[in-house]
Amino acid sequence: MNKRTVYPVWFVILPLVFYVVFFLMPSIMGIFYSFTDWNVRNRGDLSFVGFQNYIDIFTSEENYASGIYNTLKFTIVSNIVKLIPALFLAMLLQRGLRGKNVYRTILYLPAILPFLIIGLIFKSVLNYQDGILNVGLELVHLGFLKQKWLSDPEVVWKTIYMVDAWRGIGYVMTIFLAGLNAIPDSFYEASEIDGANFFHKFIHITLPMLSGTIMINLVFGITYGLKVFDIIYVLTNGGPGRTTEVLTTYVYKLYSSGQYGMAVALNTILFVITMAAGVLIVRGMSRKEVEL
Amino acid sequence: MIKSKLPKAFLLCVFTLSIFIVPSLFAAGTQEDSSGNPYAGKELSILVSAGWMDSRYDETIARFEETYNVSVDLQTVPADQYGDILQTRLLTGECADVFWIQSNPFAIESVIVDYEDFCIDFSGSAWESVVPEARLLSCKVGDSLYGLQLWHNSPEYVMVYNKSMFTEMGLEIPTTYAELKDVSAALYAQGITPWFIPGADGWQHQLAFFQIGGIYEANHPGLYEGLNNNTATFKDNQTMLKVLSQMKELSDLGYLGEDWIGSNSTNMANMFGDRKIAMAMANSSYIQQIKDETGTTDEFGLFLLPLADNSFFPTNPAGPTMFGFKGTENEDLVRLFFDFVCETESLQEILDNSPAYTNIHVNDDAVQQHWLAEEKAFVDSITPDQMVTPVLQTGTKYTNDYWMDFGADMMSYFIGRIDANDVLGRMDANRAKSAKIAQDPAW
């Protein structure tokens, strides 16, 4: 018979107090402030302005709406460019590949570097005139592939995705590896006896058995994508022009220019989007669990 | 066994702690007393944007550290991030002991805003007499003195050009936009970047628009007053629209550099020295820097930026200015530092360690200035009428506060994302926001 230990309810009081004081209350106060004209001048004397900050966000000449669009775009694309290669790399490195542990380490290493360092390194590497990438392309007679990596509006997003993937693939791959290791070999062996090829095994065994892992990576990826700031701030600071501005860079700029009410309103929009994404993911996961 | 080891472990801990703690207590207790120096061991932090101090203050700071047995923590932030970081740190009360802003007669109220909360009041300090009257306008609000501005008085951000190259190619100094375009075409045909603008710096490309404030005022008399009274706008200003379109045309033709939007100014002096570029907006004293850094034997000269056929000098009695943070725990040390840098020896050091500047604008005849012949000749060629209008960014309220935003909008225009009038309209909208925050009755 299993012996169950029952802990008293008051054990949760301390974490609950921390949660309420340091998360719930600031969040609710933030939403309240988004309906005021709070700025650097009137810190102690706020006026209620209704939805004016939200109206300004969608009608302002500043085009904050493009920041919302860019945030969503980054969230979707950055996940695609990380998840798919990471899955195939994980499958490759899970097999009996020689030196696979070395490859795993190498692929994971960028994930431990701070974005600030990565941004500064890549800013140098991607310099059009004398960056290593363009100079290297010239050296191997591939000069036609040279790009204005960080200053051409048609290229700059691709560059950001590339740098982001370079850093993030190893991390995603590690989670996939854990998921792959949990799939019993007997499933594959049985399917091989039935004549299944690689494609069949991938579709009918690997993917379904990895659905939980994929969902975990999606949750991490989506929350990361919606909150993205540092990589963009360091690499482009929202430029060229406003091409790569995202919600968080706008929030930061509004806050630092003393427009707190607007900054909080924009942050509230980000909060709503993140919450909506969270609800959708949780529902998706619950449904999947029921199916399984 | 374990029991017998415990006293040893305990003794080892006590011994180790005593090694580290006792001497430090002893030192802390005696350092001040033995020297009689109340500042000993203190740290002064300075928050500054790249380019405002560089290495010019290094020698003075080292002497300050040595004289008072203190340390100085210099926190230099990239220019395009400085404004955001400064505001954040001021508002959170986490600012450095000394901070800098790009000041002008309106900046203390519009950039720092709560200057009474954030700035140490230096009124009555002896160093006030060192700062020229014209510069004190950027350092004071009413009668209260907050900032210290030690800056040069050379022509700022005019066109520096390679005179030798022009002579060899038979080119004349352009005085109109048409002539600038022709000269640029000739240089471009030789594989030379005619007018290099380091767009990636984030703050340089705006200079071409704002430094020619005189032509805006001349073409639209009363514009400055109108902008300050909210009876005029940037939007629909035909001269401003013309300047933006001319810059875009030069950009599209490749005359500003192949990737000027992604290039910074780090290598600009070398590019001048290597004859890869022929013109750039810079301070007159930059000529000396090019010669010193590259060893070139080429001659360089100066001329007024001829966008919109401008013929006005960029008069600008403003510049980077340092302030003491009121929330500091080291106010006495901050005051001491301000006194220290205004001593003749420090002023001379700062000037002598400024390869980019030939003079320092201070009321101290003992300081030996290093004016260049080229800049003297250039300034002598300017008539008083050409110098009467200040540059747009410091002659009008709330404009300089949006320098970086305007720069980003200019870039959006250059890459074809918005129209020129949108750039101007956004400046109006931003200025209105600042005016509203400042509760300016004109808005």
At A202-222, the pLDDT tens digits run 999 999 999 889 989 998 999
Q: What is the pLDDT of residues B282-304, one digit of tens each?
A: 998 899 889 999 999 999 999 99
Query: Which one of B92, B110, B259 makes the best mutation probe of the A interface by having the most chain A beta carbons within 10 Å?
Result: B259
* Burial readout A212-226 (b: 16 or more C-beta within 10 A, e: otherwise): ebbbbbbbbbbebbb
| Integer Cα distance of A178 and A171 in angstroms | 11
Structure tokens belonging to residue B111: 């950039």
Q: Which phi and psi (to 5°) does residue A228 adopt?
A: -55, 135
Residue B100: per-residue pLDDT: 97
Taking residues B93-99, what's their average pLDDT? 95
Name the band, by pLDDT with cuts 50, 70 and 90, for residue B28.
very low
DSSP one-letter string for A13-61:
HHHHHHHIIIIIHHHHHHHHHTTB---SS-TTS--B-TTHHHHHHHHST
pLDDT of residue B8: 62
Q: Do B202 and A127 touch (CB under 8 A)?
A: no
Q: Is B81 on the interface with A (CB under 8 A)?
A: yes
Considering CB atoms only, which of B417, B437, B438 is closest to A243? Answer: B417
Interface test with B, best of A125, A128, A148, A155 (most B CBs within 10 A): A128
Cβ neighbours of A41 in B, within 8 Å = 113-114, 437-439
CA distance B94 to B112: 14
First to last CA, chain A: 28
B-chain residue closest to A61, CA distance: B426
Q: Tokens for A278, please give them.
A: 């969270």
Residue type, B436: K
Name chain B contacts of A129, Cβ cutoff 8 Å: 258-259, 263, 267
Element (H, E) at B278: strand B277-282
pLDDT at site B2: 43
Kindly tell me if the per-residue pLDDT of B34 is higher than 80.
no
Residue A42 has pLDDT above 80, yes or no: no
B26 — pLDDT class (breaks 50, 70, 90): very low
Q: Which of A250, A223, A236 shows the shortest CA–CA distance to A158? A: A236
pLDDT digits over A193-203, tens only? 999 999 999 99
Give the alpha-carbon dihedral of B63, B64, B66, B72, to 10 degrees: -110
Looking at the predicted structure, is the pLDDT value of residue A83 above 50?
yes
b/e A104-142 (16+ beta carbons within 10 angstroms → b)? beebeebeeeebeebbeebbeebbbeebebbeebeeeee
What is the Cα–Cα distance from B348 to B356, expressed in whole angstroms?
14
Cα–Cα dist B130/B347, whole Å = 10
Alpha helices in B36-73 (DSSP H): 58-68
B contact residues 257-296, partner A, Cβ 8 Å cutoff: 258-259, 261-263, 267
Closest to A246 in 3D by CA, of A116, A63, A123, A124: A63
Scan for tokens 């800056």, then name that residue: B151
Which segment of A38-42, B36-40, B212-216 scores lowest on mean pLDDT? Answer: A38-42
Q: Distance from B411 to chain A by nearest Cα, in Å?
A: 4
**Which of A40, A241, A242 is closest, CB to CB, to B437?**
A40
Q: Largest alpha-carbon pair distance within chain A?
A: 76
The whole-angstrom separation of Cα B216 and Cα B231 is: 15
Per DSSP, the residues of B308-340 read GG-----B---EEEEEEBTT-S-HHHHHHHHHH
Residue B133 tokens, joined: 């009257």
Are residues A53 and A262 in contact, defined by beta-carbon separation less than 8 angstroms?
Answer: yes
Mean pLDDT of B213-219: 97
Phi, psi of B37 (to 5 degrees): -100, 110
Q: What pLDDT score was predicted for residue B20?
A: 52
| Rounded CA separation B273/B290 (Å) | 6
Q: Strand B140-141 relative to strand B98-103: parallel, antiparallel, unpaired?
A: unpaired
| Contact (Cβ atoms closer than 8 angstroms) between residue A241 and residue B408 | yes
Q: So what's the pLDDT on residue A60?
A: 81
Instruction: Give residue B293's pLDDT.
Output: 92
pLDDT band at B372 (very low <50, low <70, confident <90, very high): confident
CB pair distance less than 8 Å for B429 and A62: yes
* A to B CB pairs, distance under 8 Å: 95
Q: What is the pLDDT of residues B421-442, one digit of tens each?
A: 999 999 999 999 888 877 899 9
Q: Which residues of A touch B234 (CB under 8 A)?
A: none
User: What is the token pair recorded at B333?
Assistant: 């040390």
Asked if B412 lies within 8 A of A149 by C-beta distance, the reply is: no
In this structure, how many other beta carbons lie within 10 angstroms of the beta carbon of residue A88? 13
Which of A36, A40, A138 to mutate to test binding with chain B, by most B CBs within 10 Å of its CB?
A: A40
**Mean pLDDT over each residue of chain B, to the nearest integer:** 90
> Which of A147, A151, A159, A254 is the mutation pick for testing B, counting most B CBs within 10 A?
A151
Interface test with B, best of A56, A61, A149 (most B CBs within 10 A): A61
pLDDT value at residue B30: 40
Over residues A11-32, mean pLDDT: 92
Residue in B83, B408, B438 closest to A256 by CB: B83
A 10 A CB-CB count for A178 gives 13
Neighbours of B3 (CB within 10 A): 6
Q: In the structure, what pLDDT confidence band is assigned to residue B27 with cuts at 50, 70 and 90?
A: very low
Q: Taking residues A81-91, report their average pLDDT.
A: 95
Report, as an integer, the average pLDDT of A94-98.
Answer: 78
Q: Is the distance from CB of A56 to CB of A262 less than 8 angstroms?
A: yes
Any idea which of A61-65, A188-192, B374-378 has the lowest mean pLDDT? A61-65
Contact B200 A151 (CB under 8 A): yes
Identity of residue A165: A
- All residues of chain B having their beta carbon less than 8 Å from the beta carbon of residue A151 are 199-200, 259, 261-262
B91 chain-A contacts, CB cut-off 8 A:
40, 258
**pLDDT value for B186:** 98
* pLDDT over threshold 90, residue B6: no
Is A151 within 8 Å of B437 when comparing Cβ atoms? Answer: no
Q: Min CA distance, B87 vs chain A (Å)?
A: 5
Among the ranges given (A63-77, A209-223, B28-42), the one the predictor scored with the smallest mean pLDDT: B28-42
Whether residue A117 has pLDDT greater than 80: yes
| CB atoms A241 and B415 under 8 Å | yes
Nearest chain B Cα distance for residue A151, angstroms: 5
Q: Which residues contact B281 (CB under 8 A, 6 or more apart)?
A: B157, B158, B159, B160, B197, B204, B207, B208, B211, B305
B199 vs A: CB within 8 A: yes
Q: How many residues are there in chain B?
A: 443
For chain A, domain boundaries: 63-291
Give the strand pairing for B319-324 and B300-303. unpaired
Beta bridge partners of B319: B103
Report which residue type is found at B416: G
What are the chain B neighbours of A255 within 8 Å (beta carbons)? 87-88
Beta-bridge partners for B102 = B320
Segment A142-155 shows an average pLDDT of 94
SS3 B215: helix
Which of the four pLDDT bands, split at 50, 70 and 90, describes residue A259?
A: confident
Q: Shortest CB distance from A41 goes to which of B85, B88, B438?
A: B438
Residue B33, C-beta contacts closer than 8 angstroms, at least 6 positions apart: none
Q: What is the mean pLDDT of residues A249-274?
A: 90
Q: Which of B87, B267, B412 sits opposite A241 (nearest CB)?
A: B412
SS3 of A171-232: HHHHHHHHHHHCCCHHHHHHHHHCCCCHHHHHHHHHHHHCHHHHHHHHHHHHHHHHCCCHHH
Indicate whether A272 pLDDT > 70.
Answer: yes
Determine the average pLDDT of the residues in A265-289.
85
Residue whose tokens read 């709560």: B114
B320 touches chain A (CB under 8 A): no
pLDDT tens digits for range B234-243: 999 999 999 9
List the single residue in B with minimal CA-CA distance to A240: B411
Which residues in chain A touch residue B412, judged by CB atoms under 8 angstroms apart?
240-243
Residue B206: strand, helix, or coil:
coil
DSSP summary character for residue B390: B
How far apart, in whole angstroms, are the C-alpha atoms of residue A84 and residue A221? 12
Judged by a CB distance cut-off of 8 A, whether residue B88 touches chain A is yes
Cite the DSSP H helix spans in B205-355.
Answer: 207-210, 213-219, 223-229, 238-252, 268-273, 286-294, 331-341, 344-352
Domains of chain B: 43-153+317-366 (3.40.190.10), 158-312+375-437 (3.40.190.10)
Look at A151 and B199 and tell me if their CB atoms are within 8 Å: yes
15-54 of B, contacting A, C-beta below 8 A: none
Given an 8 Å threshold on Cβ–Cβ distance, is A242 in contact with B408? yes
Counting Cα atoms < 13 Å in the Cβ hemisphere of B320 gives: 18
> Mutation test of the interface with chain A: which of B94, B268, B403, B433, choosing the one with the most A Cβ atoms within 10 A?
B433
pLDDT at res. B133: 86
Q: Name the nearest CA neighbour of B193 among B304, B268, B118.
A: B268
Which residue of chain B has the CA closest to A149?
B262
Q: Cβ contact (<8 Å) for A61 and B425?
A: yes
Query: What CATH fold (topology level) applies to the domain A63-291?
Result: MetI-like fold (1.10.3720)
Please name every residue paired with B46 in a beta bridge, in sequence order, or none if there are none: B74, B98
Would you call A106 helix, strand, or coil by DSSP?
helix
Between CA A12 and CA A17 the distance in angstroms is 9
Q: C-alpha angle A144/A146/A152, rounded to 5°?
A: 125
CB contact under 8 Å between B409 and A242, yes or no, is: yes
CA distance A169 to chain B (A): 27
Cα–Cα distance, A130 to A127 (Å, whole number): 6
Structure token pair of residue A263: 């900054």
* Residue B264 CB partners (closer than 8 Å, separation 6+): B198, B200, B201
* SS (HEC) of B80-139: HHHHHHHHHHHHCCCCCCEEEEEECCCHHHHHHCCHHHHECCCCCCHHHHHCCHHHHCCC
Interchain CB distance below 8 Å, B87 and A258: yes
